[in-house]
Amino acid sequence: MSNIASPAVAPPDLVELGRIVAAYGVKGWVKVQPHSADADVLLAIASGSSAKSSSASTWWLIRPAPPGTLGASSGKSAPAHSYAIRSARSHGSHVVAQLEGVDDRDQAEALKGMAVCAPRSAFPAPDEDEYYWVDLIGCTVYGEDNGAPVLMGTVDEVVDNGAHAILKVRRQRPGGQGQQAEPLLDSKGRPVEVLVPFVHAHIRAVDLAGRRIDTDWPLDF
């Protein structure tokens, strides 16, 4: 019996939260490496405590396209398969889980490398002054110049340095009148990046609805 669930119509707002890295034990459990702080989201959805949608207690697994393939370069990947979660818990820096229909180690091993996803709409509401990283990516960041806001760039990635989150901002310059901002490149044609600590000391405001973040961090630090 195949351990791959039938493809279903995937929610349009799926977010990758981790990858299955190994089987765990002999009874079909899988070991998931969460992306940074996303373990809490994985566990909340698995337990149904984020029951804001029909996707509660369900993970969606997707086989990523291999690097360098057409699927990888175009952003396309294999179909998403939904799995009900029988049980899940923290295990060190990982999450281990038992998925419906995955009953032995061989079936669990076959899922190695799968991306574990969940719809953004199923995430638990964050606490005040807390933000999901996926919501910060794509926001426009503004710095300061003599007290006036000045375009810094766009959040390309959020990383964790162990103490706090860091925004990886790709620098941009304002476009001409009515034109979009242009990427700022170095002498070798590579995008210029600024690493902005996502901490109260340097983040002045976060407006998710307006997709804007204001900071006092130096533009060229």
SS3 of residue 113 by DSSP: coil
pLDDT on residue 183: 92
Question: Do the domains at 14-122 and 133-215 have one common CATH topology?
Answer: no
Q: pLDDT below 50 — which residues of the chain?
A: 1-3, 51, 53-54, 70-76
Beta strands in 92-163 (DSSP E): 94-99, 115-119, 140-145, 148-160
Class (C level, CATH) for 133-215: mainly beta
The CATH homologous superfamily for domain 14-122 is: RimM (2.40.30.60)
Sequence spans of domains, the chain: 14-122, 133-215
- What whole-number distance in Å separates Cα of residue 165 and Cα of residue 158? 7
pLDDT on residue 160: 86
Does pTM surpass 0.95? no
pLDDT on residue 49: 62
